[in-house]
Structure 1
Protein backbone atom coordinates (compact mmCIF):
# COMPACT_ATOMS: atom_id res chain seq x y z
CA UNK A 1 0.00 0.00 0.00
CA UNK A 2 1.38 3.40 -1.03
CA UNK A 3 -0.07 6.36 0.84
CA UNK A 4 1.06 9.77 -0.38
CA UNK A 5 1.15 12.55 2.21
CA UNK A 6 0.25 15.88 0.61
CA UNK A 7 2.16 19.16 0.91
CA UNK A 8 0.44 22.46 1.68
CA UNK A 9 0.61 23.41 -2.00
CA UNK A 10 -1.00 20.12 -3.01
CA UNK A 11 -3.76 20.49 -0.42
CA UNK A 12 -4.43 23.98 -1.75
CA UNK A 13 -4.87 22.59 -5.28
CA UNK A 14 -7.12 19.83 -3.96
CA UNK A 15 -9.21 22.39 -2.10
CA UNK A 16 -9.83 24.23 -5.39
CA UNK A 17 -10.82 21.01 -7.18
CA UNK A 18 -13.17 20.07 -4.36
CA UNK A 19 -14.74 23.52 -4.13
CA UNK A 20 -15.55 23.16 -7.82
CA UNK A 21 -17.22 19.81 -7.09
CA UNK A 22 -19.35 21.50 -4.43
CA UNK A 23 -20.34 24.26 -6.86
CA UNK A 24 -21.17 21.65 -9.53
CA UNK A 25 -23.39 19.67 -7.15
CA UNK A 26 -25.21 22.89 -6.24
CA UNK A 27 -25.69 23.74 -9.92
CA UNK A 28 -27.12 20.27 -10.54
CA UNK A 29 -29.28 20.63 -7.43
CA UNK A 30 -30.93 23.75 -8.88
CA UNK A 31 -32.33 21.61 -11.71
CA UNK A 32 -33.48 18.58 -9.69
CA UNK A 33 -37.28 18.43 -9.93
CA UNK A 34 -39.98 16.07 -11.21
CA UNK A 35 -39.87 15.59 -14.99
CA UNK A 36 -36.12 16.09 -15.39
CA UNK A 37 -34.02 13.21 -16.73
CA UNK A 38 -30.75 12.16 -15.15
CA UNK A 39 -29.09 12.63 -18.56
CA UNK A 40 -30.13 16.30 -18.49
CA UNK A 41 -28.45 16.65 -15.10
CA UNK A 42 -25.33 15.01 -16.52
CA UNK A 43 -25.14 17.53 -19.38
CA UNK A 44 -25.52 20.42 -16.90
CA UNK A 45 -22.70 19.05 -14.73
CA UNK A 46 -20.29 18.43 -17.62
CA UNK A 47 -20.81 21.88 -19.10
CA UNK A 48 -20.34 23.53 -15.69
CA UNK A 49 -17.14 21.59 -14.94
CA UNK A 50 -15.58 22.29 -18.35
CA UNK A 51 -16.60 25.95 -18.24
CA UNK A 52 -14.53 26.23 -15.05
CA UNK A 53 -11.41 24.81 -16.67
CA UNK A 54 -11.64 21.29 -15.24
CA UNK A 55 -12.31 17.78 -16.52
CA UNK A 56 -15.11 15.52 -15.24
CA UNK A 57 -13.08 12.65 -13.77
CA UNK A 58 -15.84 10.06 -14.05
CA UNK A 59 -16.21 10.48 -17.81
CA UNK A 60 -14.78 7.32 -19.46
CA UNK A 61 -13.52 6.03 -16.09
CA UNK A 62 -12.39 2.43 -16.70
CA UNK A 63 -14.33 -0.57 -15.40
CA UNK A 64 -12.62 -3.96 -14.96
CA UNK A 65 -15.99 -5.68 -15.50
CA UNK A 66 -17.25 -3.79 -18.55
CA UNK A 67 -17.08 -0.62 -20.59
CA UNK A 68 -15.94 2.83 -19.40
CA UNK A 69 -18.39 5.01 -17.48
CA UNK A 70 -20.36 7.06 -20.02
CA UNK A 71 -21.42 9.96 -17.77
CA UNK A 72 -19.77 12.91 -16.06
CA UNK A 73 -21.65 12.29 -12.81
CA UNK A 74 -23.18 9.24 -11.15
CA UNK A 75 -26.95 9.61 -10.74
CA UNK A 76 -28.28 6.98 -8.35
CA UNK A 77 -32.05 7.05 -7.83
CA UNK A 78 -33.93 5.48 -4.90
CA UNK A 79 -32.66 1.89 -4.48
CA UNK A 80 -29.54 2.52 -6.60
CA UNK A 81 -26.78 2.82 -4.02
CA UNK A 82 -23.99 4.16 -6.26
CA UNK A 83 -22.70 4.41 -9.84
CA UNK A 84 -26.06 5.00 -11.53
CA UNK A 85 -25.54 5.82 -15.23
CA UNK A 86 -27.30 9.01 -16.40
CA UNK A 87 -30.08 8.20 -18.88
CA UNK A 88 -32.79 9.99 -20.84
CA UNK A 89 -35.10 7.14 -19.80
CA UNK A 90 -34.65 7.83 -16.07
CA UNK A 91 -37.13 10.64 -15.37
CA UNK A 92 -37.28 11.98 -11.82
CA UNK A 93 -40.65 11.99 -10.11
CA UNK A 94 -42.09 13.48 -6.92
CA UNK A 95 -40.90 11.58 -3.85
CA UNK A 96 -37.71 10.20 -5.40
CA UNK A 97 -34.25 10.66 -3.96
CA UNK A 98 -31.15 10.96 -6.12
CA UNK A 99 -27.52 10.65 -5.06
CA UNK A 100 -25.29 12.75 -7.31
CA UNK A 101 -21.62 11.77 -7.12
CA UNK A 102 -19.19 14.13 -8.86
CA UNK A 103 -15.46 14.23 -9.51
CA UNK A 104 -13.28 16.91 -11.09
CA UNK A 105 -9.68 17.03 -12.21
CA UNK A 106 -8.32 20.57 -11.91
CA UNK A 107 -4.65 21.51 -12.30
CA UNK A 108 -3.58 17.91 -11.83
CA UNK A 109 -5.53 17.16 -8.64
CA UNK A 110 -8.87 15.53 -7.96
CA UNK A 111 -12.02 16.55 -6.14
CA UNK A 112 -14.74 14.08 -5.16
CA UNK A 113 -18.02 14.55 -3.29
CA UNK A 114 -21.58 13.21 -3.25
CA UNK A 115 -24.93 14.50 -2.01
CA UNK A 116 -28.32 12.82 -1.87
CA UNK A 117 -31.11 15.17 -2.95
CA UNK A 118 -34.86 14.98 -2.46
CA UNK A 119 -37.09 15.33 -5.52
CA UNK A 120 -40.00 17.42 -4.31
CA UNK A 121 -41.53 16.12 -1.08
CA UNK A 122 -40.29 12.77 0.19
CA UNK A 123 -41.59 10.61 3.02
CA UNK A 124 -40.52 11.23 6.61
CA UNK A 125 -38.98 7.75 6.63
CA UNK A 126 -36.72 8.65 3.70
CA UNK A 127 -35.88 12.07 5.17
CA UNK A 128 -34.67 10.30 8.30
CA UNK A 129 -32.43 7.99 6.25
CA UNK A 130 -30.83 10.99 4.55
CA UNK A 131 -30.38 12.88 7.82
CA UNK A 132 -28.75 9.95 9.59
CA UNK A 133 -26.46 9.14 6.65
CA UNK A 134 -25.31 12.75 6.41
CA UNK A 135 -24.74 12.94 10.18
CA UNK A 136 -22.75 9.70 10.05
CA UNK A 137 -20.38 11.30 7.53
CA UNK A 138 -19.53 14.03 10.04
CA UNK A 139 -19.17 11.50 12.85
CA UNK A 140 -16.59 9.72 10.69
CA UNK A 141 -14.83 12.99 9.89
CA UNK A 142 -14.55 13.77 13.63
CA UNK A 143 -12.38 10.66 13.99
CA UNK A 144 -10.03 11.62 11.12
CA UNK A 145 -7.11 12.99 13.09
CA UNK A 146 -3.45 12.04 13.53
CA UNK A 147 -2.94 9.11 15.89
CA UNK A 148 -6.36 7.62 15.16
CA UNK A 149 -6.91 4.69 12.81
CA UNK A 150 -9.13 4.04 9.81
CA UNK A 151 -11.13 1.70 12.02
CA UNK A 152 -12.09 4.67 14.20
CA UNK A 153 -13.74 6.33 11.19
CA UNK A 154 -15.54 3.18 10.09
CA UNK A 155 -16.66 2.30 13.60
CA UNK A 156 -18.15 5.76 14.19
CA UNK A 157 -20.17 5.55 10.95
CA UNK A 158 -21.25 1.95 11.47
CA UNK A 159 -22.27 2.31 15.10
CA UNK A 160 -24.33 5.42 14.42
CA UNK A 161 -26.17 4.08 11.36
CA UNK A 162 -26.81 0.62 12.78
CA UNK A 163 -28.29 2.19 15.92
CA UNK A 164 -31.17 3.29 13.65
CA UNK A 165 -31.50 -0.17 12.12
CA UNK A 166 -29.92 0.81 8.82
CA UNK A 167 -27.54 -1.30 6.73
CA UNK A 168 -23.92 -0.31 6.09
CA UNK A 169 -22.66 -1.44 2.68
CA UNK A 170 -19.42 -3.42 3.06
CA UNK A 171 -18.36 -4.05 -0.54
CA UNK A 172 -17.78 -0.36 -1.38
CA UNK A 173 -15.52 2.03 0.48
CA UNK A 174 -14.11 5.51 0.53
CA UNK A 175 -10.53 6.01 -0.63
CA UNK A 176 -7.40 8.04 -0.66
CA UNK A 177 -7.35 10.83 -3.22
CA UNK A 178 -4.85 13.21 -4.82
CA UNK A 179 -3.31 13.11 -8.27
CA UNK A 180 -5.40 9.98 -8.81
CA UNK A 181 -9.11 9.76 -8.07
CA UNK A 182 -8.64 6.52 -6.16
CA UNK A 183 -5.47 6.17 -4.09
CA UNK A 184 -4.59 4.13 -1.03
CA UNK A 185 -5.89 3.58 1.54
CA UNK A 186 -9.44 2.19 1.16
CA UNK A 187 -11.69 3.83 3.77
CA UNK A 188 -14.42 1.40 4.94
CA UNK A 189 -17.63 2.61 6.56
CA UNK A 190 -17.43 -0.13 9.18
CA UNK A 191 -14.70 -1.40 11.48
CA UNK A 192 -13.30 -1.55 14.98
CA UNK A 193 -11.71 1.28 16.91
CA UNK A 194 -7.92 1.15 16.99
CA UNK A 195 -7.70 -1.09 13.91
CA UNK A 196 -6.48 -0.31 10.41
CA UNK A 197 -4.05 2.19 8.95
CA UNK A 198 -2.65 4.83 11.31
CA UNK A 199 -3.79 8.31 10.28
CA UNK A 200 -1.15 10.99 9.73
CA UNK A 201 -1.16 14.70 8.97
CA UNK A 202 -1.08 15.24 5.20
CA UNK A 203 -3.27 12.27 4.31
CA UNK A 204 -6.17 13.13 2.01
CA UNK A 205 -9.13 10.77 1.94
CA UNK A 206 -12.70 10.65 0.68
CA UNK A 207 -15.13 9.44 3.34
CA UNK A 208 -18.44 8.30 1.88
CA UNK A 209 -21.05 6.39 3.88
CA UNK A 210 -23.37 4.33 1.67
CA UNK A 211 -26.31 3.42 3.89
CA UNK A 212 -29.41 1.33 3.15
CA UNK A 213 -32.82 1.67 4.73
CA UNK A 214 -33.10 -2.11 5.01
CA UNK A 215 -30.70 -4.98 4.48
CA UNK A 216 -27.12 -4.08 3.51
CA UNK A 217 -26.93 -6.71 0.74
CA UNK A 218 -26.47 -5.41 -2.79
CA UNK A 219 -26.57 -6.50 -6.45
CA UNK A 220 -24.60 -5.35 -9.49
CA UNK A 221 -26.85 -4.25 -12.36
CA UNK A 222 -26.41 -5.78 -15.85
CA UNK A 223 -24.76 -2.53 -17.03
CA UNK A 224 -21.82 -3.54 -14.74
CA UNK A 225 -21.89 -0.13 -13.04
CA UNK A 226 -25.02 0.47 -11.00
CA UNK A 227 -25.25 -1.10 -7.55
CA UNK A 228 -28.74 -1.65 -6.11
CA UNK A 229 -30.15 -2.85 -2.81
CA UNK A 230 -31.33 -6.46 -2.97
CA UNK A 231 -34.49 -5.70 -1.01
CA UNK A 232 -35.43 -2.74 -3.24
CA UNK A 233 -35.43 -0.26 -0.36
CA UNK A 234 -33.81 3.19 -0.76
CA UNK A 235 -30.16 3.98 -0.04
CA UNK A 236 -28.38 7.26 0.72
CA UNK A 237 -24.83 8.38 -0.06
CA UNK A 238 -22.94 11.42 1.20
CA UNK A 239 -19.23 12.10 0.62
CA UNK A 240 -16.62 14.67 1.57
CA UNK A 241 -12.95 14.82 0.64
CA UNK A 242 -10.85 15.80 3.65
CA UNK A 243 -7.23 16.57 4.52
CA UNK A 244 -5.95 15.33 7.86
CA UNK A 245 -4.25 18.14 9.75
CA UNK A 246 -2.31 18.21 13.01
CA UNK A 247 -5.41 19.29 14.93
CA UNK A 248 -8.05 17.30 13.01
CA UNK A 249 -9.74 17.16 9.63
CA UNK A 250 -10.15 19.98 7.13
CA UNK A 251 -13.13 19.39 4.84
CA UNK A 252 -11.96 20.32 1.34
CA UNK A 253 -15.31 19.83 -0.40
CA UNK A 254 -18.43 21.74 0.61
CA UNK A 255 -22.21 21.33 0.97
CA UNK A 256 -22.70 24.98 1.90
CA UNK A 257 -24.26 26.15 -1.38
CA UNK A 258 -26.48 23.07 -1.57
CA UNK A 259 -27.75 23.61 1.97
CA UNK A 260 -28.57 27.24 1.15
CA UNK A 261 -30.65 25.99 -1.77
CA UNK A 262 -32.48 23.51 0.45
CA UNK A 263 -33.26 26.20 3.01
CA UNK A 264 -34.55 28.68 0.43
Structure 2
Protein backbone atom coordinates (compact mmCIF):
# COMPACT_ATOMS: atom_id res chain seq x y z
CA UNK A 1 0.00 0.00 0.00
CA UNK A 2 1.30 3.44 -0.93
CA UNK A 3 1.36 6.15 1.73
CA UNK A 4 -1.09 8.37 -0.16
CA UNK A 5 -3.59 5.55 -0.75
CA UNK A 6 -6.76 5.39 1.29
CA UNK A 7 -6.13 3.34 4.44
CA UNK A 8 -7.10 -0.34 4.47
CA UNK A 9 -9.19 0.18 7.65
CA UNK A 10 -11.95 1.99 5.77
CA UNK A 11 -11.55 5.26 7.66
CA UNK A 12 -11.41 7.30 4.45
CA UNK A 13 -8.08 8.80 5.55
CA UNK A 14 -4.80 8.54 3.69
CA UNK A 15 -2.73 5.56 4.78
CA UNK A 16 0.15 7.76 5.98
CA UNK A 17 -2.24 9.63 8.31
CA UNK A 18 -3.93 6.50 9.62
CA UNK A 19 -2.34 3.03 9.93
CA UNK A 20 1.10 3.45 8.33
CA UNK A 21 2.90 3.77 11.69
CA UNK A 22 0.70 0.97 13.09
CA UNK A 23 1.75 -1.41 10.30
CA UNK A 24 5.40 -0.45 10.70
CA UNK A 25 5.31 -1.32 14.39
CA UNK A 26 3.46 -4.56 13.66
CA UNK A 27 6.07 -5.54 11.05
CA UNK A 28 8.82 -4.98 13.63
CA UNK A 29 7.22 -7.42 16.09
CA UNK A 30 8.94 -10.78 16.58
CA UNK A 31 6.47 -13.59 17.20
CA UNK A 32 7.27 -16.84 19.00
CA UNK A 33 5.32 -19.59 17.23
CA UNK A 34 6.02 -21.98 20.10
CA UNK A 35 3.96 -19.69 22.33
CA UNK A 36 1.19 -19.46 19.76
CA UNK A 37 1.92 -15.78 19.26
CA UNK A 38 0.37 -14.38 16.09
CA UNK A 39 -0.65 -11.18 14.35
CA UNK A 40 -4.29 -10.05 14.44
CA UNK A 41 -5.99 -10.14 11.02
CA UNK A 42 -6.78 -6.70 9.63
CA UNK A 43 -10.50 -7.53 9.38
CA UNK A 44 -10.84 -7.36 13.18
CA UNK A 45 -9.20 -3.93 13.51
CA UNK A 46 -11.91 -1.27 13.85
CA UNK A 47 -11.73 2.31 12.65
CA UNK A 48 -13.18 5.30 14.52
CA UNK A 49 -16.59 4.96 12.83
CA UNK A 50 -16.81 1.25 13.71
CA UNK A 51 -15.92 1.98 17.33
CA UNK A 52 -18.52 4.71 17.66
CA UNK A 53 -21.20 2.37 16.25
CA UNK A 54 -20.24 -0.37 18.73
CA UNK A 55 -20.29 2.20 21.52
CA UNK A 56 -23.86 3.21 20.57
CA UNK A 57 -24.97 -0.43 20.61
CA UNK A 58 -23.32 -0.69 24.03
CA UNK A 59 -25.41 2.17 25.41
CA UNK A 60 -28.61 0.30 24.55
CA UNK A 61 -27.17 -2.98 25.81
CA UNK A 62 -26.24 -1.43 29.17
CA UNK A 63 -29.70 0.09 29.49
CA UNK A 64 -31.28 -3.30 28.89
CA UNK A 65 -29.08 -4.82 31.60
CA UNK A 66 -30.02 -2.01 33.98
CA UNK A 67 -33.71 -2.69 33.33
CA UNK A 68 -33.28 -6.45 33.74
CA UNK A 69 -31.63 -5.88 37.11
CA UNK A 70 -34.66 -3.99 38.43
CA UNK A 71 -36.83 -7.03 37.69
CA UNK A 72 -34.70 -9.57 39.54
CA UNK A 73 -36.86 -10.46 42.54
CA UNK A 74 -38.14 -13.55 44.24
CA UNK A 75 -41.22 -14.87 42.43
CA UNK A 76 -40.45 -13.31 39.04
CA UNK A 77 -40.25 -15.69 36.09
CA UNK A 78 -37.36 -15.36 33.65
CA UNK A 79 -39.64 -15.00 30.60
CA UNK A 80 -40.88 -11.71 32.07
CA UNK A 81 -37.31 -10.43 32.23
CA UNK A 82 -36.64 -11.63 28.69
CA UNK A 83 -39.69 -9.80 27.29
CA UNK A 84 -38.69 -6.57 29.03
CA UNK A 85 -35.19 -6.85 27.55
CA UNK A 86 -36.59 -7.53 24.09
CA UNK A 87 -38.98 -4.59 24.17
CA UNK A 88 -36.36 -2.19 25.53
CA UNK A 89 -33.87 -2.98 22.76
CA UNK A 90 -36.41 -2.96 19.92
CA UNK A 91 -37.99 0.32 21.07
CA UNK A 92 -34.56 1.96 20.69
CA UNK A 93 -33.98 0.72 17.18
CA UNK A 94 -31.82 -2.27 18.05
CA UNK A 95 -32.23 -6.02 17.79
CA UNK A 96 -31.66 -8.57 20.59
CA UNK A 97 -28.88 -10.57 18.95
CA UNK A 98 -29.53 -13.81 20.83
CA UNK A 99 -33.01 -14.15 19.33
CA UNK A 100 -32.90 -16.82 16.60
CA UNK A 101 -29.08 -16.97 16.72
CA UNK A 102 -28.40 -20.53 15.55
CA UNK A 103 -31.93 -21.34 16.73
CA UNK A 104 -31.75 -19.80 20.21
CA UNK A 105 -35.41 -19.06 21.04
CA UNK A 106 -35.18 -16.03 23.34
CA UNK A 107 -33.79 -12.50 23.41
CA UNK A 108 -31.27 -12.98 26.23
CA UNK A 109 -29.66 -15.76 28.26
CA UNK A 110 -30.56 -16.16 31.94
CA UNK A 111 -28.45 -18.73 33.76
CA UNK A 112 -29.26 -19.67 37.36
CA UNK A 113 -27.06 -21.33 40.00
CA UNK A 114 -25.38 -24.36 38.36
CA UNK A 115 -26.22 -23.15 34.84
CA UNK A 116 -22.97 -21.80 33.45
CA UNK A 117 -24.40 -20.02 30.40
CA UNK A 118 -27.04 -20.08 27.63
CA UNK A 119 -29.94 -20.57 30.02
CA UNK A 120 -33.24 -20.20 28.14
CA UNK A 121 -35.81 -17.89 29.79
CA UNK A 122 -39.14 -19.55 30.56
CA UNK A 123 -42.39 -18.69 32.35
CA UNK A 124 -41.82 -21.92 34.30
CA UNK A 125 -38.49 -20.76 35.70
CA UNK A 126 -39.27 -18.74 38.84
CA UNK A 127 -36.58 -16.90 40.77
CA UNK A 128 -36.20 -18.11 44.37
CA UNK A 129 -34.65 -16.66 47.49
CA UNK A 130 -30.94 -17.49 47.49
CA UNK A 131 -30.56 -17.84 43.71
CA UNK A 132 -27.65 -16.32 41.83
CA UNK A 133 -28.13 -15.65 38.14
CA UNK A 134 -26.33 -14.31 35.12
CA UNK A 135 -28.19 -12.20 32.56
CA UNK A 136 -26.33 -12.08 29.25
CA UNK A 137 -27.49 -9.60 26.60
CA UNK A 138 -26.13 -8.76 23.15
CA UNK A 139 -27.53 -5.87 21.12
CA UNK A 140 -27.24 -5.29 17.38
CA UNK A 141 -27.61 -1.69 16.21
CA UNK A 142 -27.07 -0.68 12.57
CA UNK A 143 -25.12 -3.88 11.98
CA UNK A 144 -22.80 -3.56 15.00
CA UNK A 145 -22.80 -5.69 18.16
CA UNK A 146 -22.18 -5.07 21.87
CA UNK A 147 -22.20 -7.89 24.41
CA UNK A 148 -22.18 -7.94 28.24
CA UNK A 149 -23.51 -9.87 31.20
CA UNK A 150 -23.92 -9.29 34.92
CA UNK A 151 -24.55 -11.43 37.96
CA UNK A 152 -27.52 -10.80 40.26
CA UNK A 153 -28.42 -12.23 43.66
CA UNK A 154 -31.96 -12.92 44.85
CA UNK A 155 -32.72 -12.21 48.50
CA UNK A 156 -30.54 -13.95 51.04
CA UNK A 157 -27.77 -15.82 49.26
CA UNK A 158 -25.26 -18.09 50.97
CA UNK A 159 -21.78 -16.79 51.83
CA UNK A 160 -20.41 -19.33 49.35
CA UNK A 161 -22.56 -17.93 46.54
CA UNK A 162 -21.78 -14.31 47.43
CA UNK A 163 -18.05 -14.99 47.39
CA UNK A 164 -18.25 -16.74 44.02
CA UNK A 165 -20.11 -13.79 42.47
CA UNK A 166 -17.63 -11.31 43.92
CA UNK A 167 -14.48 -13.21 42.97
CA UNK A 168 -15.74 -13.87 39.44
CA UNK A 169 -16.21 -10.12 38.93
CA UNK A 170 -12.71 -9.57 40.25
CA UNK A 171 -11.40 -12.16 37.78
CA UNK A 172 -13.00 -10.21 34.93
CA UNK A 173 -11.60 -6.92 36.23
CA UNK A 174 -8.10 -8.37 36.47
CA UNK A 175 -8.41 -9.74 32.95
CA UNK A 176 -9.42 -6.33 31.63
CA UNK A 177 -6.55 -4.65 33.49
CA UNK A 178 -4.16 -7.09 31.79
CA UNK A 179 -5.50 -6.30 28.30
CA UNK A 180 -2.85 -3.86 27.12
CA UNK A 181 -1.92 -2.77 23.60
CA UNK A 182 1.05 -4.62 22.10
CA UNK A 183 0.70 -7.41 24.66
CA UNK A 184 -1.04 -10.75 24.18
CA UNK A 185 -4.42 -12.39 24.71
CA UNK A 186 -2.74 -14.88 27.03
CA UNK A 187 -2.14 -12.05 29.49
CA UNK A 188 -5.93 -11.81 29.93
CA UNK A 189 -6.19 -15.58 30.31
CA UNK A 190 -3.49 -15.75 32.96
CA UNK A 191 -4.86 -12.82 34.97
CA UNK A 192 -8.35 -14.34 35.15
CA UNK A 193 -7.32 -17.92 35.73
CA UNK A 194 -4.57 -17.33 38.25
CA UNK A 195 -6.91 -15.30 40.46
CA UNK A 196 -9.67 -17.88 40.23
CA UNK A 197 -7.29 -20.67 41.21
CA UNK A 198 -5.90 -18.56 44.06
CA UNK A 199 -9.42 -18.49 45.47
CA UNK A 200 -9.91 -22.23 45.07
CA UNK A 201 -12.16 -22.13 42.00
CA UNK A 202 -11.99 -23.77 38.59
CA UNK A 203 -12.30 -22.05 35.22
CA UNK A 204 -14.54 -23.25 32.41
CA UNK A 205 -12.30 -23.81 29.39
CA UNK A 206 -14.81 -25.18 26.87
CA UNK A 207 -16.17 -21.66 26.37
CA UNK A 208 -14.64 -18.21 26.49
CA UNK A 209 -14.60 -14.64 25.31
CA UNK A 210 -14.37 -13.52 21.71
CA UNK A 211 -13.95 -10.67 19.33
CA UNK A 212 -17.15 -8.72 18.76
CA UNK A 213 -18.35 -5.64 16.92
CA UNK A 214 -18.83 -6.19 13.20
CA UNK A 215 -20.22 -9.63 14.00
CA UNK A 216 -21.51 -11.49 17.06
CA UNK A 217 -18.49 -13.78 17.37
CA UNK A 218 -15.10 -13.02 15.82
CA UNK A 219 -11.44 -13.67 16.43
CA UNK A 220 -9.74 -13.91 18.83
CA UNK A 221 -10.97 -16.63 21.18
CA UNK A 222 -10.30 -15.38 24.72
CA UNK A 223 -9.57 -18.19 27.17
CA UNK A 224 -9.84 -17.36 30.87
CA UNK A 225 -7.09 -19.71 31.94
CA UNK A 226 -3.65 -19.86 30.37
CA UNK A 227 -0.15 -18.48 30.14
CA UNK A 228 0.87 -14.86 29.83
CA UNK A 229 2.71 -13.74 26.71
CA UNK A 230 0.92 -16.27 24.51
CA UNK A 231 -1.68 -16.12 21.76
CA UNK A 232 -2.81 -13.29 19.50
CA UNK A 233 -1.28 -9.84 19.79
CA UNK A 234 -3.59 -7.17 21.20
CA UNK A 235 -3.50 -3.94 19.19
CA UNK A 236 -5.44 -0.67 19.21
CA UNK A 237 -8.78 -1.00 17.44
CA UNK A 238 -9.51 -4.55 18.54
CA UNK A 239 -12.82 -5.09 20.36
CA UNK A 240 -13.40 -8.22 22.42
CA UNK A 241 -15.21 -9.63 25.42
CA UNK A 242 -13.71 -10.67 28.74
CA UNK A 243 -16.21 -13.07 30.34
CA UNK A 244 -14.78 -15.60 32.80
CA UNK A 245 -17.04 -18.49 33.83
CA UNK A 246 -15.92 -19.61 37.26
CA UNK A 247 -17.07 -22.75 39.10
CA UNK A 248 -17.11 -23.68 42.78
CA UNK A 249 -16.44 -27.30 41.84
CA UNK A 250 -14.76 -28.81 38.80
CA UNK A 251 -14.51 -27.12 35.41
CA UNK A 252 -16.31 -29.80 33.40
CA UNK A 253 -19.68 -28.85 31.90
CA UNK A 254 -22.57 -30.58 30.14
CA UNK A 255 -25.12 -29.36 27.60
CA UNK A 256 -28.78 -30.27 28.19
CA UNK A 257 -29.92 -32.72 25.53
CA UNK A 258 -33.48 -31.39 25.87
CA UNK A 259 -32.64 -28.02 24.27
CA UNK A 260 -28.99 -28.31 23.11
CA UNK A 261 -28.25 -24.91 24.65
CA UNK A 262 -28.26 -24.91 28.46
CA UNK A 263 -24.73 -25.42 29.79
CA UNK A 264 -24.45 -26.73 33.37
CA UNK A 265 -21.62 -27.67 35.68
CA UNK A 266 -21.22 -31.43 35.46
CA UNK A 267 -21.05 -31.73 39.25
CA UNK A 268 -24.11 -29.42 39.65
CA UNK A 269 -22.15 -26.97 41.80
CA UNK A 270 -22.50 -23.20 41.47
CA UNK A 271 -21.09 -21.20 38.57
CA UNK A 272 -20.85 -17.46 37.93
CA UNK A 273 -19.94 -15.22 35.01
CA UNK A 274 -19.37 -11.51 34.38
CA UNK A 275 -18.76 -10.01 30.94
CA UNK A 276 -17.78 -6.70 29.39
CA UNK A 277 -17.05 -5.63 25.82
CA UNK A 278 -13.76 -3.76 25.72
CA UNK A 279 -11.81 -1.76 23.16
CA UNK A 280 -8.03 -1.95 23.03
CA UNK A 281 -6.81 1.66 22.84
CA UNK A 282 -3.38 3.24 22.36
CA UNK A 283 -2.92 3.41 26.15
CA UNK A 284 -5.05 0.61 27.61
CA UNK A 285 -8.73 -0.25 27.34
CA UNK A 286 -12.14 1.39 27.13
CA UNK A 287 -15.28 -0.46 28.23
CA UNK A 288 -17.92 -0.28 25.48
CA UNK A 289 -20.59 -2.37 27.21
CA UNK A 290 -20.86 -3.48 30.81
TM-score by length of 1: 0.92
Residue in 1 aligned with 2:190?
Answer: 155
Q: CA deviation at 1:89?
A: 1.0
1:122 counterpart (154, 157, 168)? 157
The answer to whether residue 247 in structure 2 is matched with residue 247 in structure 1 is no
Question: Based on CA coordinates, which of the two structures has the bigger radius of gyration?
Answer: 2
Query: After superposition, what is the alpha-carbon deviation per residue over 1:214-264, rounded to whole angstroms, capped at 9, x for unaligned?
Result: 11111111110010001111110100000000100101113xxxxxxxxxx
**Which residue is equivalent to 2:220?**
185
1:228 to 264, 280, 290: 264
TM superposition outliers: structure 1 runs of 4+ over 4 Å: none
Among residues 116, 129, 135, which one is paired with 1:81 in the alignment?
A: 116
Cross-structure match for 1:131 = 166
Cα distance in 1 for partners of 2:256, 2:58 equals: 29
Whether 2:135 is the aligned partner of 1:95: answer: no
d(CA) in 2 for partners of 1:72, 1:116:
17
Is the partner of 1:252 in helix, strand or coil? strand
Task: For 2:156 and 2:86, locate their aligned partners in 1 and report how far apart those are by CA, in whole Å.
Answer: 27
Given candidates 44, 60, 67, the residue that maps to 1:4 is 44
Distance 1:12 1:132 in 2: 31
SS at match of 1:241: strand
Count of residue pairs brought into register by the alignment: 249
RMSD (CA atoms) = 1.0
Question: Counterparts of 1:233 and 1:52 in 2: how far apart (Å)?
Answer: 38
TM-score if structure 2 supplies the norm length? 0.84
| Aligned pair partner of 1:20 in 33, 55, 60 | 60
Match of 1:164 among 199, 217, 222: 199
Query: Aligned to 2:129, what secondary structure does the other structure show?
Result: coil
Matching residue of 2:76: 36
Structure 1: give runs of 5+ residues left out of the alignment: 63-67, 255-264
Shift of 1:178: 1.2
> Unaligned regions of 5+ residues in structure 2, if any?
1-39
**Secondary structure, counterpart of 2:66 in structure 1:** helix
Q: Which residue of 1 is the match for residue 142 of structure 2?
A: 107
Q: Equivalents in 1 of 2:118, 2:111: separation in Å? A: 6
CA distance in 2, matches of 1:127, 1:175: 27
Per the alignment, residue 60 of structure 1 pairs with 100
Partner of 2:274: 238
